[in-house]
Structure 1
Amino acid sequence: STLASSAFAVFAFWMARAYVPAATLFAWHPLCLSAAIGLCGAASVIGVRVRAFAPGRERVRALWCHLALNSAGGAAWVIGFWAIYANKNNLGKAHFTSAHGKVGAAATMVLVATYALGLFSFNALGLLTRLDMNRRAKDVKATHRVASLVAIFGGILAASMRTGHDSTGFGAAGRAVADVALFAGAGALAFLAATTPAWKIER
């Protein structure tokens, strides 16, 4: 878990530093999206690990941290998405014409749905109870877990694609550093997701 979180943090820092200060509308796209992957990646690590925690204060604290990171990362993600959309509008360019754009848009839609599912699945917020839908809690939680991994890995895939702008500010060597960090984080997260057992009450 430390490897995954550290790798995502390195990727976020290394990518974002190339676009600070964000002097153009376009620059806000890679700046915010790299930060989003760092934050949401760390949140995903916590989300995977917390399944092994027994119910109690430690689990609840971890879930609050998971929610906070996802909230910050989700906000950065949406701002980054808006930035590239608005920039293309200003330039009169078509939207979602590249694989990067299509994958990124799909990941963004899944992210928004995942965030909503996460709010409903967090028992401390009591949303399912208020809606008298506790009987659906298991399904909501399971869908949230799967969708969250789809969103973060979709974002990672989009970030790994060459767009014509990805060498701005740091060149090929800098891009290699970002790629290593990105794929190290993705690999470590995938390993955690595949090997972390759920606490016995969830089985």
Structure 2
Amino acid sequence: MHAMQYEFTLPTDYDMGIIRSRVARVAHLLDDWDGLGIKTYVLRERGVHGSPVNQYGPFYLWNTMEGMNSFLWGGAFQGPVDDFGRPAIRQWTGLAFEEGAVGSSAAYAVRRRRPVPDGVELAAFMTEAADETGRLAAEDGAVLAAAAVDTRAWEVVHFSLWAHDTPKADGDVFEVLHLSAPGRDDLPRGRQW
């Protein structure tokens, strides 16, 4: 599993209805994308759920590098680049993935990024991150949870989807506009090592 996210931070007076309309128009294009586990079309609005910004920030869990590369270099990613500019893309190696009890209806997402502190024992820290994924997925209202690590920046990201607007996770809260999940059933469950 490979995780990926890019963000477009928009002006404070930006009409977020433009993003909602865009997603309604194009989201179905990835509903059957080869190699894609899930893509969440998510946004944050300034002043909602504590967000300081207006931001569109799709989050992906990939089953294959070929699927991800086909998306990035095969033309599909050019649309957002043409409309908003070329963003920095964060990428993380998968640590764990767990399904929640709720099923596929996701209304909110939570992303929490945290550094891997210097001096920690890496195996114990990553095991704790994987265990946190299981804890999040077991919470009431959880749709799914994932954890991944960026070994260049030494950062762990936890990403979870929730069926209601009171997620039981800490981090940046996003509204889910659409969930494409062509390979969700193929995402490996549990710890990834």
TM-score (norm 1): 0.23
Larger Rg: 1
Structure whose residues are more often strand by fraction: 2
